Amino acid sequence: MKPDIDQVERRVKGYWFQDGFGEMAGGLVFLVLGSYFALSEYLGDSFWGGLLQAAFILVFFALMFVGRRLVAALKSRFVYPRTGFVEYRVDEDTRHRRKILAGLVGALMAAMFTLVLKATDIEDLTPALTGLVGGAILVFAGTKSSGVARFFVLALISIALGVALSFIPLAMGYALGMYYGLMALAFFISGAVVLSRYLRKSPRPRNS
Amino acid sequence: MNKNLRTLTGLDRVIHEPARLMLVMILATVESADFLFLQRETGLTKGNLSAHLTKLESAGYVKIEKMFKGKYPLTLCKLTPAGIKALDGYRHQLDKALKSRGRG
């Protein structure tokens, strides 16, 4: 036994990702984002388009809330009886720091997109930028979650998709809709493969 | 004998045992973990794990609670502040002793 606490910590952190439910929930969020961008483009400045934009933030936060509940319920049903339950330590300071960081990253991304679009007047770059930012976030998530290798693959897919979609002559809303839709598919596939491998490797103990 | 090296004799023997050290180290990285998770991570048998957890609980280093998460019954283990302090102290003592190696 090597008393390396960092290694133990990495293993325990990686445990949250070993069933694929998190990725499938992420796929659901991407699917909604993709539908939003495509529908916004389709509806344009009409009454329904305005309504969709107004309601989107509410729908998005509701989805995040439901997604978290759903993942918890699925883990409770399939994961805890097989490989056990872990509650991760998140102190209040870290929670606040994360919220502030998420807000700052969001604001920075919005500002960056606006500036680039205004300065260059080329909307075509938006999918590429989205892919790059998405890729960077996935690399960060992969590093934080003890180097779960599939996050790096998803990051590459994000960048490749973003760049490829920039070369296809599509309206920005459709291009973004396609990016998020295809990323949702990648997340669902990745999650499903991981889940099936997990279920095969970890049968339910007989006495549970 | 070097004074720092002599601290080895004062190491906390509850934590010094490899299986218990492994348990304390896992619990130090999380808020709490259940029996099944600890069993899978350590590779100990149920009886062995139970005995080690009981020792840690008796020393006041681990708190054990039985509860339900949905329909799933859990035996939840959590490192107490005394357990965290004991692990820190153990690491500090061991570091000191190992660093003094070769200094005579």
The ipTM (two decimal places) reads 0.79
Distance between A63 CA and the closest CA of chain B, angstroms: 22
Query: Which residue from A minimizes the CA distance to B29?
Result: A9
To the nearest 10°, report the CA torsion of A202, A81, A1, B65: 180
**CA-to-CA distance for A75 and A8, rounded, in angstroms?**
22
- Contact B36/A85, CB-based, under 8 Å? yes
A12 vs B26, B36, B72: nearest CB: B26
Give the pLDDT confidence score for residue B46 in this predicted structure.
Answer: 93
- Contact A1/B21, CB-based, under 8 Å? yes
Residues of chain A in contact with residue B26, where contact means CB-CB under 8 angstroms, are: 8, 12
Distance between A106 CA and the closest CA of chain B, angstroms: 29
Handedness of CA A160, A164, A166, A172 (dihedral sign): negative
Half-sphere exposure of B27 (CA within 13 A, CB side): 32
A85 vs B26, B37, B41: nearest CB: B37
A interface residues, B as partner, C-beta within 8 Å: 1, 3, 5, 8-9, 11-13, 15, 73, 76-77, 80-81, 83-90, 205
Residue type, A158: S
Determine the residue among B36, B49, B78 to mutate to test chain A binding: the one whose Cβ has the most chain A Cβ atoms within 10 Å: B36
| Cβ atoms of A172 and A123 closer than 8 Å | yes
Q: Which residue has the tokens 């899978």?
A: B40
Distance between B1 CA and the closest CA of chain A, angstroms: 26
Radius of gyration from C-alpha coordinates of chain B: 16
pLDDT exceeds 90 at position A179? yes
**CA-to-CA distance for B77 and B82, rounded, in angstroms?**
14
Give the pLDDT confidence score for residue A193 in this predicted structure.
Answer: 94
Give the pLDDT confidence score for residue B4 in this predicted structure.
Answer: 67
Residues of chain B in contact with residue A1, where contact means CB-CB under 8 angstroms, are: 18, 21-22
pLDDT exceeds 70 at position A132? yes
* List of residues 6+ apart from A26 with CB closer than 8 A: A187, A191
Residues of chain A in contact with residue B41, where contact means CB-CB under 8 angstroms, are: 11-12
| Cβ atoms of B90 and B79 closer than 8 Å | no
- Contact B29/A5, CB-based, under 8 Å? yes
**CA-to-CA distance for B33 and B27, rounded, in angstroms?**
7
A8 vs B26, B36, B76: nearest CB: B26
For A182-194, the pLDDT digits (tens) are: 999 999 999 999 9
| Cβ atoms of A23 and A3 closer than 8 Å | no
Is the pTM of the predicted complex or chain greater than 0.90? no
Count of CB atoms within 10 A of residue A142's CB?
A: 19
**Which DSSP state fits B61?**
S
One-character DSSP codes across A55-114: HHHHHHHHHHHHHHHHHHHHIIIIIHHHH--EE----HHHHHHHHHHHHHHHHHHHHHHH
Percent of chain B with pLDDT over 70: 90
| Cβ atoms of B72 and B54 closer than 8 Å | no
B72 vs A5, A81, A86: nearest CB: A81
User: Among candidates B23, B51, B40, which has minimal Cα distance to A85?
Assistant: B40
Give the pLDDT confidence score for residue A17 in this predicted structure.
Answer: 87
**CA-to-CA separations, B95 to A142, B8, B87, B99, B101, in angstroms, rounded:** 31, 10, 12, 6, 10
What average pLDDT is seen over chain A? 83
How far is C-alpha A138 from the geometric centre of its chain's CA atoms?
8
